[in-house]
């Protein structure tokens, strides 16, 4: 077979190897022995791989298939060669063979990088850019006079400041920012809310999760500078949307181009490399890797950052103190009609309260909020007339849109404020909020309108949150000292109802004896009294949540909060008699798996228990047997108390004598 | 419990994802690790009287169980544990010197297996491929008592430490001392968990590996570099074992009556364990 | 330390032998004058490089590699960190960061500056070939008329030429042996040291869910590094 120089020919592998060997020998003759060792070593490995090829003839120039290339790019451990040296040797080898017409130079001979899962990719090129990052930081720190309102500088400064100072390294940050609304930036508390799609997000469907990120003070200054650059916005009621960035910067291409220019000037070749450098610096300084991952959008968390609660912007000085310069002048609406909380607003809030329950999804909440917003904005609609009414509706929209507030919390607060504004000596207008005695009287009356201590606390919290919202909207609100005596809610006289294990057993025995649905009730009592499950958690258990393993683990998936999702191992904490009851019920449930319902706890009729109905059935029995003002939640408190007593016992401490013996 | 999902992939066994995640996070309360209450359950069986009052079978059981729960030795290793006096020969496996109260564990050979040059040996600390692990004081007393009463087999005078009485003949389901702790799987579970708890209570993983004779990848790397002394190992082991045992006995005693637990010193280990075990045992009658 | 039986690794240097070796190396060192005669400069420079490499290997317990892992852009003197990719396997390389104790970062920066000046001198006024040296090499020596990266073999050659071969009978990865042994003796947690030594296993300190900043274990590592450097005689 005669090789042609310019066209593909076919030859036997051994002939190809012989020719390649000649070429390599000729090349290595010109090199020093030390330098020739690596190419020869690489060629020997290549020769082994070519000999192992299954075909009887090879096409010349030989194109290396991935299988052949893979074995070559894997490093040789025995010689202790580093990846870079091996890559260099392979490239040299392919270059020589390609020049001789024997092989095609492959596009990629990169040695595979590490495969470990890390919060931050340890990229050497990004590490090498740390000095440039420091220079960029220094440049952003000295951002020039506030009077310098050049828009591009401000926009780029704000975006890069969010990355460099606040560590927000979401890859598509520029695309995200161009579509962001103004209210995503909370200047008073220094938070930016961004939509993020984390890979491990529990919300697998659209829309992406809203994550809040605390902003570094310098980053916040940049954003403030950008806001100052913008012309005064039209009043809220007439504009359909209020984007965060100025009008000319809502094109992602334009923003990307500006960022690219600035980064190139600073020495960063690409946006990605820049983000990696920032992440590496965060890792090497004071940030925990999980925080770096979160700020890179790789982890979605349910809890809000602690900075949510710092530096409340609504603590404005008493307007009677005229020298105070921290007064805000922007009112909620220009017209402030002196009418009280009107019926329309009350009705709308009532509908919201009714519609919300623990099963309300985020989408439904958004729909409710959108409906309220349409009522507010549409001049034809019968929205609330008074400023107070409108403010409450706005607050409802705010709460509904914030996922961190659970539906029960939103319901409670709205119903409390509604009650306070309607039934109690109400504030007639927003101007009353500037009058300290008037506002104080209102708050006192609102708290006093409830009898139970928990209700009073809920009322106080609701009023406080409402006033905080108003202040954040720019309404002048007198500073209230909430720790003052008049607003304190006493804790004395609260009767405790700590149930002992013996009492729980007595209750279980009674329900088993006297009730047709006793087995289910007993099971619910045991789950709450020994496992600490809430009412809703007991009722929402599914069959697959109770696998009946060796430890009698119960998986709580539907809980009041995200933090409540857990696995409870009942085996170690249940006494044998309790275990027997659970086993009985589990056996009954298995026998009745024909009852086509996924819930685990069923009534004898085969329907899942309603939490309210369950409580209604159990509470009277608890009170009758124990003689204490117990509720269903008392069982959870008992479980927590006894588990704590069992597990936390410092050496030398005696148990208090009045605590009954847990073992029954 | 298996459950199928809609993607068609094989469902993962319940709890596997949690165990893997907990291992990645370095947590110890996964389902594959025995928790303190499981150790506490067997303490009354093993440690209910002083060594001097135990008969031969009780001594064997206490030594067997003690090596499992305090050293983390696997039952299969214990089944082949040989007697020795001083350092065993190179070809031998793990051995126990009953008189000196020392457990001899072979270290994995990782690099530099051959003899050193004279000048290099002179400039280095002495090392050895055999680790000598002193038994905890209480176990040492048990071992000494056991040695006095241990029967010798004619066919194998150097013999195994735990001579099988024929009831268990090396079969995986028949431990050398059947019924000491429970089933073989429970013994294995306790053995692997004992090492984890020792490490959890402050022992370095390399020490835990030497004491138990089980070298995972992480311990293997460290063992190639570390030069240790038996005093150093004994101190670390005793400190960690005391914390573990304190926790087990606290669990046992608290579950029984809620008595206060003394701070356990290694030298008083037996006394406190015995009291805790007596407390645990006395409460059993009240429960049933 | 009590007289008890020792077991484990056999190549852990005795402290006396180490300090004697480092003292011998220090005594041979002299200031590098770039404008000195070529032979004198080369001798001083080679020894300075070897000293710096040995010092860094004791300060960071690096694995000795044929292709030096520490390069010009792989350390940050300001933050005091080193970036290393040294453990090779058929499946890839392992990258890690190593905290540098105080003073080591600026020392590397000075070494880099010295290396630049020597390179310039060699390029412009000598026949020493530099084609075997990449632009980002930080540690290099001049042997046989060629400037080459400082590999373990080259390091041994320099020690031989300086008459120090007998003072350093140990393999070049002996700092790792010493580090781990002394850490176990001093009660320094290996969980703080292992990731920076390259013993990577879950849970990684820079893993996705690691909630502890690296700075905590880094400060432990730096403190211990300073202790080691003092013990062996570099400080």
The residue ranges of DSSP E strands in C9-103, in sequence order, are 75-76, 81-89, 92-99
Greater model confidence, A609 or A312: A609
Burial (CB count <10 Å: 0-12, 13-18, 19+), residue A336: middle
Whether the CA torsion A507, A512, A515, A517 is positive or negative: it is positive
- How much is the CA Rg of chain C, to the nearest whole Å? 18
Structure token digits, residue C146:
């060629």
Q: Do C210 and A283 touch (CB under 8 A)?
A: no
Residue A115 belongs to some domain of the structure: no
The whole-number pLDDT of residue A133 equals 96
Residue B142 belongs to some domain of the structure: yes
Greater model confidence, B34 or A116: B34
Poorest-pLDDT segment among A257-266, A526-535, B20-29, C7-16 = B20-29
Candidates A575, A645, A653; nearest CB to B260? A653
Residue A288 belongs to some domain of the structure: yes
* Residue given tokens 């359909």 in the structure block: A240
pLDDT confidence tier of residue A664, bands split at 50, 70 and 90:
very low
CA distance B15 to A122: 32
Q: Do B287 and A654 touch (CB under 8 A)?
A: no
Greater model confidence, C91 or A16: A16
Q: What ipTM goes with this model?
A: 0.92
Domain total in chain B: 1
Residue B12 belongs to some domain of the structure: no
Q: Whose CA is closest to B249, among C146, A130, B241, A552?
A: B241
Candidates A113, A288, A298; nearest CB to C93? A113
Are C107 and C91 spatial neighbours (Cβ–Cβ below 8 Å)?
no
Same domain? A579 vs A431: no
Q: Do A649 and B1 touch (CB under 8 A)?
A: no
DSSP 3-state assignment of A97?
A: helix
Which residues are registered as beta bridge partners of B128?
C8
pLDDT tens digits for range A439-495: 888 888 888 888 778 888 889 999 999 998 888 877 878 888 888 878 888 765 555
Candidates A548, A553, A651; nearest CB to B260? A651
The whole-number pLDDT of residue A71 equals 66
C-alpha torsion angle, residues A263, A265, A269, A273 (rounded to 10)? -30
Candidates C17, C170, C202; nearest CB to B23? C202
CA distance C217 to C192: 5
CA distance B64 to A148: 81
Q: Does B41 contact C at CB distance below 8 Å? A: no
Domain end, chosen from A65, A99, A133, is at A99
Structure token digits, residue A226:
């950008």
Candidates B26, B126, B204; nearest CB to C6? B126
Are B62 and B142 spatial neighbours (Cβ–Cβ below 8 Å)?
yes
Portion of chain A with pLDDT greater than 70, in percent: 77
Q: Does A653 contact B at CB distance below 8 Å? A: yes
Provide the shortest C-alpha distance from residue A128 to chain C (in Å). Answer: 5
Q: Does C96 contact B at CB distance below 8 Å? A: no
Residue B96 belongs to some domain of the structure: yes
Q: Does B20 contact C at CB distance below 8 Å? A: no
pLDDT tens digits for range C148-181: 999 899 999 999 999 999 999 999 999 999 999 9
Same domain? A525 vs A634: yes
Q: Do B260 and A572 touch (CB under 8 A)?
A: no
Domain total in chain A: 4
Portion of chain C with pLDDT greater than 70, in percent: 94
CA B25 to centroid of chain Cα atoms: 24
Are A259 and A271 spatial neighbours (Cβ–Cβ below 8 Å)?
yes
Burial (CB count <10 Å: 0-12, 13-18, 19+), residue B233: buried
Same domain? A184 vs A284: yes
Same domain? A382 vs A242: no
Query: With contacts defined as CB-CB under 8 Å, which chain C residues touch B228?
Result: 6-8, 181, 184
Are C49 and C150 spatial neighbours (Cβ–Cβ below 8 Å)?
yes
Poorest-pLDDT segment among B12-16, B172-176, B203-207 = B172-176
Residues 6 or more apart in contact with residue C96 via CB below 8 angstroms = A122, C83, C84, C85, C195, C196, C198, C200
Q: Does B209 contact C at CB distance below 8 Å? A: no
Residue B22 belongs to some domain of the structure: no
Contact residues, B window 16-45, toward A, CB-based 8 Å cutoff: 18, 31, 35, 37
**If residue A194 lies in a helix (H) or strand (E), which one and from where to where?**
strand A191-196
Q: Parallel, antiparallel, or unpaired: how do β-strands B82-83 and B95-97 relate? A: parallel
**Residue-range definition of the domain harbouring residue B273:** 34-287
Residue A276 belongs to some domain of the structure: yes
pLDDT tens digits for range C110-153: 999 999 999 999 999 888 988 878 888 899 999 999 999 998 99
Provide the shortest C-alpha distance from residue A280 to chain C (in Å). Answer: 10
Mean of pLDDT values over A532-552: 89
* Residue given tokens 């003092």 in the structure block: C230
Structure token digits, residue A31:
């090199």
The whole-number pLDDT of residue A534 equals 93
Greater model confidence, B90 or A1: B90
CA distance A383 to A376: 5
Are C227 and C15 spatial neighbours (Cβ–Cβ below 8 Å)?
no
Portion of chain A with pLDDT greater than 90, in percent: 18
pLDDT of residue A61 exceeding 50, the answer is yes
Residue A316 belongs to some domain of the structure: no
Cis, bond preceding A290 (omega within 30 deg of 0): no
Residue A113 belongs to some domain of the structure: no
Whether the CA torsion C152, C154, C157, C162 is positive or negative: it is negative
pLDDT tens digits for range A325-355: 333 333 333 333 334 556 777 788 888 887 7
pLDDT tens digits for range B70-83: 999 998 899 888 88
Structure token digits, residue B183:
């089933």
Contact residues, A window 485-544, toward B, CB-based 8 Å cutoff: 544
Q: In what order do the strands lie in the sheet with A209-214?
A: A185-186, A191-196, A209-214
pLDDT tens digits for range B114-146: 778 888 889 999 888 899 999 988 888 889 988
CA distance A180 to A81: 50
Give per-residue burial for C97-132: e unless 16+ CB within 10 Å, then b. bbbbbeebbeebeebbebbeebbebbeeebebbbee
CA distance A556 to A563: 10
How many CB pairs below 8 Å do chains A and B form together? Answer: 40
pLDDT tens digits for range B259-273: 444 444 333 444 555
Mean of pLDDT values over B53-67: 87
pLDDT of residue C105 exceeding 60, the answer is yes
Are A317 and A324 spatial neighbours (Cβ–Cβ below 8 Å)?
yes
- First-to-last C-alpha distance (Å) of chain A: 94
pLDDT of residue B255 exceeding 60, the answer is no
Domains and CATH numbers, chain C: 15-232 (1.10.443)
Same domain? A283 vs A429: no
Greater model confidence, A437 or B26: A437
Provide the shortest C-alpha distance from residue C5 to chain A (in Å). Answer: 34
Residue A364 belongs to some domain of the structure: yes
- How much is the CA Rg of chain B, to the nearest whole Å? 21
Same domain? A156 vs A270: yes
**If residue A350 lies in a helix (H) or strand (E), which one and from where to where?**
helix A343-355
CATH number at residue A594: 1.10.443.10
Same domain? A603 vs A505: yes
Q: Does B256 contact A at CB distance below 8 Å? A: yes
Candidates B31, B260, B283; nearest CB to A654? B260
Choose from B28, B124, B231 for mutation: most chain C CBs within 10 A.
Answer: B124
The whole-number pLDDT of residue A436 equals 84
C-alpha torsion angle, residues B68, B71, B74, B79 (rounded to 10)? -70
Q: Do A649 and B287 touch (CB under 8 A)?
A: no
Q: Do C83 and A293 touch (CB under 8 A)?
A: no
Q: Whose CA is closest to B42, among B249, B220, B267?
A: B249
How many CB pairs below 8 Å do chains A and C form together? Answer: 126
Same domain? A181 vs A281: yes
CATH number at residue A160: 1.10.443
Which residues are registered as beta bridge partners of C89?
C92
Residue B276 belongs to some domain of the structure: yes
Residue A434 belongs to some domain of the structure: yes
Poorest-pLDDT segment among A32-41, B54-63, C33-42 = A32-41
Cis, bond preceding A52 (omega within 30 deg of 0): no
Neighbours of chain A (3+ CB pairs under 8 A): B, C
Q: For residue A381, which phi and psi values (nearest 5 degrees)?
A: -75, 160
Greater model confidence, B25 or A420: A420
Burial (CB count <10 Å: 0-12, 13-18, 19+), residue A498: middle
pLDDT tens digits for range A196-236: 865 443 434 444 677 888 899 899 989 988 888 766 544 44
**Residue-range definition of the domain harbouring residue A249:** 124-308
pLDDT tens digits for range A594-635: 556 788 898 888 888 888 889 989 999 998 888 888 889 999
Same domain? A454 vs A508: no
CA distance A298 to A203: 13
CA distance A52 to A66: 14
Contacts made by residues C87-90, CB under 8 angstroms, sequence distance 24+? C87/C63, C87/C198, C88/A75, C88/A77, C88/A80, C88/A81, C88/A82, C88/A83, C89/A75, C89/A77, C90/A74, C90/A75, C90/A77
Greater model confidence, C76 or B18: C76
pLDDT tens digits for range C26-72: 999 999 999 999 999 999 999 999 999 999 999 999 988 766 778 88
Same domain? A274 vs A166: yes
Query: With contacts defined as CB-CB under 8 Å, which chain C residues touch A114?
Result: 92-95
CA distance B224 to B61: 35
Q: Do C17 and B123 touch (CB under 8 A)?
A: yes
Query: With contacts defined as CB-CB under 8 Å, which chain C residues touch B222?
Result: 180, 190, 194, 199
Provide the shortest C-alpha distance from residue B130 to chain C (in Å). Answer: 6
**Mean pLDDT of all residues in chain A?**
78
Cis, bond preceding A417 (omega within 30 deg of 0): no
* Residue given tokens 């093993």 in the structure block: B46
CA distance B103 to B67: 10
Neighbours of chain C (3+ CB pairs under 8 A): A, B
Instruction: Tell if the pTM clears 0.80, that is, is over it.
Output: no
Are A368 and A349 spatial neighbours (Cβ–Cβ below 8 Å)?
no
Choose from A88, A127, A268, A299 for mutation: most chain C CBs within 10 A.
Answer: A127
For the packed helices A453-472 and A407-422, what is the interaxial angle rounded to 10 degrees?
Answer: 90
The whole-number pLDDT of residue C172 equals 92
Q: Does C143 contact A at CB distance below 8 Å? A: no
Q: Do A127 and C208 touch (CB under 8 A)?
A: no
Q: Do A549 and B15 touch (CB under 8 A)?
A: yes
Same domain? A60 vs A161: no
pLDDT tens digits for range A98-138: 888 888 877 666 655 555 678 888 888 899 999 999 999 99
Same domain? A560 vs A606: yes
The whole-number pLDDT of residue A424 equals 63
Residue A441 belongs to some domain of the structure: yes
């Amino acid at each position: 077979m005669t090789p042609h120089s310019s066209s593909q020919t076919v030859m036997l592998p051994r002939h190809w190897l012989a020719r390649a060997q000649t070429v390599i020998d000729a090349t290595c003759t010109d090199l020093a022995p030390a330098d020739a060792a690596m190419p020869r070593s690489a060629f020997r490995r290549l020769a082994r791989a070519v000999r192992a090829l299954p075909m009887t003839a090879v096409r010349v120039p030989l194109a290396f298939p991935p299988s052949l290339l893979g074995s070559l790019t894997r490093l040789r451990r025995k010689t202790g060669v580093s990846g870079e040296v091996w890559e260099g040797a392979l490239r040299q080898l392919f270059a020589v063979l390609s020049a001789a017409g024997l092989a095609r130079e492959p596009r990629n001979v990169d040695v595979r990088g590490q495969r470990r899962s890390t919060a931050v990719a340890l990229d050497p090129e990004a590490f090498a850019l740390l000095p440039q990052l420091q220079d960029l930081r220094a440049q952003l720190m000295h951002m020039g006079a506030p009077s310098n309102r050049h828009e591009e500088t401000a926009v780029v400064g704000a975006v890069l400041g969010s990355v460099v100072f606040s560590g927000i390294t979401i890859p598509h940050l520029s695309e995200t920012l161009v579509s962001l609304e103004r209210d995503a930036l909370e200047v008073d508390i220094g938070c930016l809310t961004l939509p993020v799609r984390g890979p491990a997000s529990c919300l697998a469907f659209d829309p992406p999760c809203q994550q809040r990120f605390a902003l570094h003070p310098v980053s916040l200054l940049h954003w403030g500078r950008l806001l100052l650059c913008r012309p005064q916005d039209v009043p809220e009621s007439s504009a359909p949307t209020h984007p965060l960035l100025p009008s000319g910067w809502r094109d992602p291409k334009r923003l990307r181009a500006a960022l690219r220019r600035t980064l190139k000037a600073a020495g960063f070749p690409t946006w990605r490399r820049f983000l990696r450098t920032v992440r590496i610096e965060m890792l090497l300084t004071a940030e925990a890797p999980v925080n770096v991952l979160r700020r890179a959008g790789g982890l979605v968390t349910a809890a809000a950052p602690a900075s949510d609660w710092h530096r409340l912007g609504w603590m404005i000085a008493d307007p009677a103190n005229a020298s105070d310069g921290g007064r805000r002048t922007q009112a909620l609406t220009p017209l402030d009609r002196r009418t009280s909380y009107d019926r329309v607003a009350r009705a709308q809030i009532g509908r919201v309260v009714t519609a919300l329950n623990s099963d309300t999804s985020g989408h439904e909440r958004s729909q409710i909020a959108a409906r309220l917003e349409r009522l507010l904005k549409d001049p034809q609609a019968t929205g609330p007339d008074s400023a107070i009414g409108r403010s409450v509706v706005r607050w409802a929209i705010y709460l509904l849109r914030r996922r961190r507030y659970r539906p029960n919390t939103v319901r409670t607060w709205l119903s409390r404020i509604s009650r306070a504004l309607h039934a109690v000596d109400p504030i007639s207008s927003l101007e009353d909020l500037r009058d300290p005695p008037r506002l104080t009287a209102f708050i006192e009356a609102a708290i006093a309108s409830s009898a139970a201590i928990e209700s009073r606390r809920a009322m106080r919290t609701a009023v406080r949150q409402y006033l905080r919202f108003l202040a954040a909207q720019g309404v002048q609100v007198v500073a209230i000292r909430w720790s003052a005596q008049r607003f304190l809610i006493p804790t004395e006289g609260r009767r405790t109802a700590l149930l002992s294990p013996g009492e729980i057993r007595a209750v279980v025995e009674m329900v088993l004896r006297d009730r047709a649905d006793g087995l289910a009730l007993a099971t619910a009592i045991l789950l709450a009294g020994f496992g600490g499950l809430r009412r809703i958690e007991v009722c929402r258990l599914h069959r697959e949540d109770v696998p009946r393993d060796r430890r009698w683990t119960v998986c709580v998936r539907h809980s009041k909060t995200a933090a409540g999702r857990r696995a409870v191992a009942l085996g170690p904490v249940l006494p044998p008699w309790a275990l027997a009851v659970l086993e009985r019920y589990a056996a009954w449930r298995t026998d009745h798996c024909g009852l086509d319902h996924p819930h685990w706890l069923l009534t004898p009729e085969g329907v899942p228990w309603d939490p309210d109905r369950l409580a209604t059935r159990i509470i009277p029995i608890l009170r009758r047997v124990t003689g204490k003002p117990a509720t269903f939640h008392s069982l959870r408190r008992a479980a927590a108390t006894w588990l704590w007593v069992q597990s936390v016992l410092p050496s030398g401490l005696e148990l208090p004598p009045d605590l009954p013996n847990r073992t029954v | 419990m298996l459950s199928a999902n809609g993607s068609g992939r094989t469902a993962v066994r319940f709890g596997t994802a949690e165990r893997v995640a907990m291992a990645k996070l370095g947590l110890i309360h996964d389902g594959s690790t025995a928790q303190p209450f499981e150790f506490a359950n067997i303490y009354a069986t093993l440690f209910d009287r002083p060594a001097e009052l135990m008969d031969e079978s009780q001594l064997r059981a206490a030594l067997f169980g003690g090596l499992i729960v305090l050293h983390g030795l696997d039952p299969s290793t214990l089944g082949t544990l040989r007697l020795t006096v001083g350092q065993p020969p190179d070809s031998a496996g793990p051995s126990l010197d009953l008189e000196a109260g020392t457990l001899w564990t072979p270290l994995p050979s990782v690099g530099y297996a051959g003899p050193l040059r004279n000048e290099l040996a002179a400039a280095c600390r002495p090392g050895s491929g055999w680790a000598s692990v002193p038994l905890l004081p209480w176990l040492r007393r048990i071992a000494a008592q056991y040695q006095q009463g241990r029967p010798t087999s004619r066919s194998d005078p150097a013999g195994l430490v735990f001579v099988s009485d024929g009831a268990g003949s090396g079969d995986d389901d028949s431990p050398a001392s059947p019924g000491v702790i429970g089933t073989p799987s429970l013994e294995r579970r306790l053995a692997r968990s004992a090492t984890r708890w020792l490490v959890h209570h402050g022992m370095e993983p390399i020490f835990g590996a030497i004491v138990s004779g089980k070298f995972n990848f992480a311990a293997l790397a460290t063992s190639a570099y570390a030069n240790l002394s038996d005093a150093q190992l004994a101190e670390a082991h005793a400190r960690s074992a005391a914390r573990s045992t304190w926790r087990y006995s606290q669990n046992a005693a608290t579950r029984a009556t809620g008595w206060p637990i003394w701070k356990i010193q290694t030298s008083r280990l037996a006394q406190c364990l015995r009291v805790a075990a007596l407390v645990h045992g006395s409460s059993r009658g009240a429960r049933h | 330390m009590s007289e008890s039986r020792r077991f484990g690794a056999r190549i852990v240097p005795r402290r006396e032998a180490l300090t004697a070796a480092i003292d011998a190396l220090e005594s041979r060192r002299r200031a590098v004058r770039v404008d000195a005669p070529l032979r004198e400069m080369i001798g001083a420079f080679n020894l300075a490089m070897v000293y710096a490499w040995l010092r860094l290997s004791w300060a960071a317990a690096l694995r000795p590699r044929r292709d030096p892992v520490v390069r010009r852009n792989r350390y940050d003197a300001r933050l005091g960190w080193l970036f290393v990719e040294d453990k090779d396997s058929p499946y890839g390389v392992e990258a890690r960061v190593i905290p540098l104790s105080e003073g080591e970062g600026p020392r590397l920066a000075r070494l880099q500056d010295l290396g630049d000046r020597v390179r310039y001198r060699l390029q412009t006024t000598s026949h020493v070939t530099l084609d075997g040296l990449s632009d980002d090499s930080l540690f290099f020596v001049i042997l046989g008329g060629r400037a080459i990266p400082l590999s373990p073999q080259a390091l041994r050659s320099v020690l031989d030429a300086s008459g120090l071969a007998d003072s350093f009978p140990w393999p070049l990865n002996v700092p790792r042996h010493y580090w781990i042994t002394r850490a176990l003796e001093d009660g320094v947690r290996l969980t703080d040291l292992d990731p920076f030594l390259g013993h990577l296993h879950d849970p990684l300190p820079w893993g996705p869910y690691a909630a502890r900043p690296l700075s905590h274990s880094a400060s432990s590592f730096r403190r211990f590094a300073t202790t080691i450097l003092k013990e062996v005689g570099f400080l």
